[in-house]
Amino acid sequence: MPLNGNPLQYQDVQSILPHRFPCLLVDRILADGTSISEGRLSAIKNITANEPTFWTGHHQTTVFPGILMVEALAQSTGLLAHYFLKPLLPGEHYYFAAIHHARFYRSARPGDQLRMDVAFVRQRSGLARFTGRATVNGRRICTAEFMCARK
């Protein structure tokens, strides 16, 4: 297991995902809630007021955009795919293929810690299906289903 009971830090996440600041939306993979052998992964994103997403035009908004919550879930799914699915061959990548049933329940604001819990559902014909749930302090913020393609 890649975690060995320890969380993976930001640098570890950067070694797996191609995203970089400000587009990298996973700060850490948690050991608590993560079971790669069972197809589950938990990660966090600390939401801070100085992120570029909060500055739009001449005023500041204090709600973390919902689409970025979905992106954070998708990136968490990519991390799970990296560890759970068969190793990639040279030149292969996982690509985000689809999102289904995205639902938004509450807002996330600066100071919140967004927890993303993603789980593998099934794989067929090179497409893998995952579910994701984002919470803040245990309260559901966003849910979605994802598909990724191996190419």
Contact in structure between 29 and 79 (CB atoms under 8 Å): yes
Is 114 exposed, middle or buried (CB count within 10 Å of its CB: 0-12, 13-18, 19+)?
buried
Residue 78, classed as helix, strand or coil, is helix
59 catalytic? Reply is no
Active-site residue, from 19, 58, 82, 100? 58
Identify residue 82 by its one-letter amino acid code: H
Give me 52's structure tokens: 């570029």
φ/ψ of residue 47, rounded to 5: -95, 120
The whole-angstrom separation of Cα 11 and Cα 56 is 29
Residues marked as catalytic: 58
